[in-house]
Amino acid sequence: MTEKELATKAELNAVLEYLGLDPIQDKEEAPEKSEEDKTLDEIMKYM
């Protein structure tokens, strides 16, 4: 991951934590994607 990707991930995790949601997991940690992760992936495509 680039420095920018890591910063974006950190910011997203901070927002998710604020909203009371689970932070984004790295691919190695969470091989099975939940519906929430799939939706987030769809959103991220457009950012």
Q: Dump pLDDT digits (tens) for 19-47.
A: 888 777 666 655 566 788 888 888 888 87
- Give the per-residue pLDDT at 42: 85
**Residue 33 neighbours by CB under 8 Å, 6+ apart:** 41
- Give the per-residue pLDDT at 26: 64
Report residue 8 as tokens. Answer: 């974006």
Instruction: Judge whether residue 8 has pLDDT over 70.
Output: yes
**pLDDT bracket for residue 7 (50, 70, 90):** confident
What is the residue range of 24's domain? 3-45
The model's pTM is 0.40
When divided into structural domains, the chain yields a total of: 1
